[in-house]
Amino acid sequence: MPEETKEQVKEEIIDKYSINVNNIIVEIKIIAREDKPVAQYSASITNISDTTKLILEKIRQEFVTKVGIQEVEKVQNEDVENIKARFQHEIKRLIHKYFPRTDEKTTDMLVNYLIEENLGLGKIEILLKDPELEEIVVNNHTDPVWVYHRKHGWLETNVKIVTEARIRHYSTMIGRDVGKEITTLNPLMDAHLMTGDRVNATLQPISSKGNTITIRKFAADPWTITKFIKAGTISLEAAALVWLGVQNELSILVAGGTGSGKTSMLNVVSNFFPPNQRIISIEDTRELTLPSNLHWVPMETRLPNPEGKGGITMLDLLVNSLRMRPDRILVGEIRRKEEAQVLMEAMHTGHSVYATIHANNADEVVMRLTNPPIDIPKPMLTSLSLVLVQNRNRRTGKRRTLQIAEILPNGDPNIIMKLNVQKDLVEHANESQTMIDTLELYTGLTKDEIDFDIKQKIKILQWMVKKNIDSVNEVGNVLSKYYLGRLTLD
């Protein structure tokens, strides 16, 4: 492309912030370019000059030549601190050779940089440290790495993996850390990083354009009800209705498509749990983060080893959880008939159950539950009180609560609240036919008292938003005071 054409391309910086990766300052810019269909995610290290990077690359090559690539790869499954200690002397010697006047702090920073380049996931480590990213995707070595940003949706980055062999090497390294392997005979792998981030990897020729890695990041700063309200994901009235249901131990199913925010909503629902009840959560990979003041026991499934032994399924944990005297049971996702049956039995025997399911609307939830492969008899659905449907608009990237529905005695859904797309607000749709009656029966409250309670909850939620009570533990403390009758709004 001629130089003058390059200059004509208009760019606009739509977001800008910095992150600290082991004392390496990385500037992140989100850039809208006239010649690109999606915004660009640009990561640049600001406290290491281009000249220094060139010298560091020379040090890296010298280090690998001296130590030997086989020796480097041999320690990939060791703890990072052990690796650092093992190679620190050699890397420091090389740094002082090229940077004789470097102080200790700068030396340590350069050591971290070289260790990540040689023994970590390279530039992907920078992306993993960005709290604004939800997903990191490597499609092959010729395409740039893609990320899913909390605010800006899918973005193309300025990061590339140099070879297919390096992508495969990263997959092997991740698998080795958790006792899994990815090979030509076993070209698909599900694993997780030590940080809790979920990883899926595939090898050629299964993925015909190249080796892939998909990392779904563990939310270190999880979604809370106040964050949902601020982001416009749910309205105050809808949030108060969900709170009312959770407080009174109604079972809830969260539905939605891939990436719609089902697990985030499940995490938000758990904000409303009282502190004097025992909660068991069951997931394939830990994604939920509950307030620290709750009586919470998190459990995870386990895949069998290469000999086919030692596997612990969702069903195993579900059956076991019923022997642990739970007041509330949280389940990552319902996929099979046996799991759904156990959950429905748990609801019938007085347990409050909260789970997610893949379905795009309330009618589809009923269809999925009552047809193969889950195939639950429709009359059994009456133990399920509420269905929350989450939706992500793929055009705008916005996640919203689409519907809040109750299940009628015949097993059909009744939509109580739904998203007004034009106003971008969750609004009242139909009068409740079963939820209010259930609450009147078990709480003794009249309809007017229930309406007053919802208004009080709206006031508390407004106050929490105004006070920026955003973290999961802050929200948990407010709810704890509310249940103990000690909450005062100042």
Look over the chain and give the mean of its residue pLDDT values, rounded to a whole number. 88
Concatenate the DSSP letters of all residues of 404-426 into one string: EEEE-TTS-EEEEEEEETTTTEE
What is the C-alpha separation between 246 and 200, in angstroms, rounded?
Answer: 34
pLDDT band at 195 (very low <50, low <70, confident <90, very high): confident
Instruction: Pinpoint the residues of the chain covered by CATH 3.40.50.300.
Output: 225-483
> Which tokens go with 357?
């399911």
Would you state the pLDDT for residue 76? 46
Would you state the pLDDT for residue 192? 81
Q: Among 262, 271, 263, 267, which Cα is nearest to 391's? A: 262
> What angle separates helix 314-321 from helix 337-348, to the nearest 10 degrees?
10
pLDDT in tens, 219-241: 778 899 999 999 999 999 999 99
Distances (CA, A) of 332 to 264, 265, 284, 352, 437: 11, 11, 7, 15, 29
CATH architecture of the region 135-218: 2-Layer Sandwich (3.30)
Percent of the chain predicted with pLDDT > 70: 93
> Which tokens go with 390?
């989450």
Instruction: Pinpoint the residues of the chain covered by CATH 3.30.450.370.
Output: 135-218
Q: Residue 254 pLDDT > 70, yes or no?
A: yes
Query: Which CATH number applies to 225-483: 3.20.20.20, 3.90.550.10, 3.40.50.300, 3.90.110.10?
Result: 3.40.50.300
Would you state the pLDDT for residue 1? 44
pTM for the whole thing?
A: 0.79
What is the C-alpha separation between 74 and 390, in angstroms, rounded?
Answer: 45
Concatenate the DSSP letters of all residues of 287-353 into one string: -----TTSEEEEEE-B---TTS-S-B-HHHHHHHHTTS--SEEEES---SHHHHHHHHHHHHTT-EE
Higher-confidence position of 348 and 365: 365
Would you state the pLDDT for residue 77? 45
